[in-house]
């Protein structure tokens, strides 16, 4: 009996971990917004799409190239948040608009009433936020 119980418990715990890691697009965006608002740049950075990260890194390099002497160069994660994370509006609701296997759009409403849509893409098995250009 004990020999049978151990594999069953291992399988059950692995399936629970797998379920927890399957975060949907709406939940993923909500968590991204919370991390960004909390000023957790590295964690929020990891939730961006590769194209968004590349675009921010290119912008950071461009800014650094034109910065006056003595100004420290900035990075992509610093551009993501800047000094505004604490004043960013809070997310009131996030709802799924459409979802396919590798792309999704969520409707976001902020506490101030402003509404918009955000695109997410699936990369490396996880939903990633695409920043608008």
Rg of the Cα trace of the chain? 19
Q: Tell me the C-alpha distance between 2 and 16, whole Å.
A: 21
Q: What are the structure tokens assigned to 9, written together?
A: 């418990």
Entry pTM: 0.74
pLDDT tens digits along 46-99 = 999 999 999 989 988 888 888 787 676 677 887 777 755 666 778 999 999 999
DSSP-derived 3-state class of residue 122 = strand
Strands (E), the chain: 91-99, 103-110, 115-123, 126-130
Beta-carbon contacts of residue 45 (< 8 Å; ≥ 6 apart): 53, 76, 77, 80
pLDDT tens digits along 86-133 = 667 789 999 999 999 999 999 999 998 899 999 999 999 999 999 988
Residue ranges per domain, the chain?
40-88, 89-133
CATH 3.10.450.100 fits 89-133, yes or no: yes
Strands (E), 16-101: 91-99
């Amino acid at each position: 009996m004990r020999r049978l119980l151990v594999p069953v418990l291992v399988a059950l715990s692995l399936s629970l971990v797998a379920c927890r890691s399957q975060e949907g697009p709406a939940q993923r965006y909500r968590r991204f917004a919370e991390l960004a608002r909390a000023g957790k740049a590295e964690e929020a950075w990891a939730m961006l799409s590769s194209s968004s990260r590349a675009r921010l890194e290119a912008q950071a390099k461009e800014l650094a190239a034109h910065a006056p002497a003595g100004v420290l160069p900035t990075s992509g994660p610093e551009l993501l948040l800047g000094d505004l994370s604490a004043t960013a509006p809070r997310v009131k609701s996030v709802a799924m608009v459409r979802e396919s296997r590798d792309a999704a759009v969520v409707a976001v409403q902020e506490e101030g009433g402003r509404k918009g849509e955000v695109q997410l893409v699936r990369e490396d098995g996880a939903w990633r936020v695409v920043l608008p250009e």
